[in-house]
Amino acid sequence: MGGAHEFQTIIGAATELRDRPESRFLFIGRGPQELHIAQTTMERGLVNLVLKPYQPRAIFAHSLVSADVHLVSLRPALEGLVVPSKFYGIAAAGRPTLFVGDTDGQIGALVREVECGFCVREGNVTALVAAIMKLRNNPELHERMKHNARRIFEERFDKPVAIETWRHLLAHVAGENISV
């Protein structure tokens, strides 16, 4: 719940969906915005928004697969300076991403390119709620986006792929000619 992340849109969606018991928001972790999020949740009576502390590393994968969809946010002013790394764990878990931020930024463009979720602009609560409901009401779309998320992880971000990418980059920087 760091300063780089935008939460007002997400809290707005939780507020809109407060009477839908199937729509729950779970935030795991800590950060400078945690107190504000907790206070807003309490003030609005959002029983559908739950805050939990960091979970033990041993159960991290379980928390990634326990959700039907994941939220990722980044303040547009920080695009190019910060990359929300949580996207990669979400893709590894094969879950769709709802990205709130610069829809043309790095994560927004990737989510749209591979069709592994939806992107909404900061402050567009209506679009975020619509994306949540679209995934909720369309199991085939949800499954396709899950598959696309896992596929992009395996093709571009899995450890062997990342190591090979780094190997090529380091060889290039060192001035070595390497063959593929």
* pLDDT value, residue 114: 97
Per the structure, the complete domain to which residue 137 belongs is given by 8-155
Count of structural domains within the chain: 1
* pLDDT value, residue 36: 96
Cβ neighbors of 143 (< 8 A, separation 6 or more) are none
* pLDDT value, residue 57: 87
Residue 174 within any structural domain of the chain: no
Q: Are strands 70-73 and 97-100 parallel, antiparallel or unpaired?
A: parallel
How wide is the angle at C-alpha 38 spanned by C-alphas 48 and 23, nearest 5°? 15
* pLDDT value, residue 28: 93
| CA–CA dist 22, 117 (Å, integer) | 19
Predicted TM-score (pTM) of the model is 0.90
Residues of the chain with pLDDT under 70: 177-180
Which CATH number do you get for residue 76? 3.40.50.2000
* pLDDT value, residue 172: 85
Residue 171 within any structural domain of the chain: no
Per residue in 14-40, pLDDT (tens digit) is 999 999 989 999 999 999 999 999 999
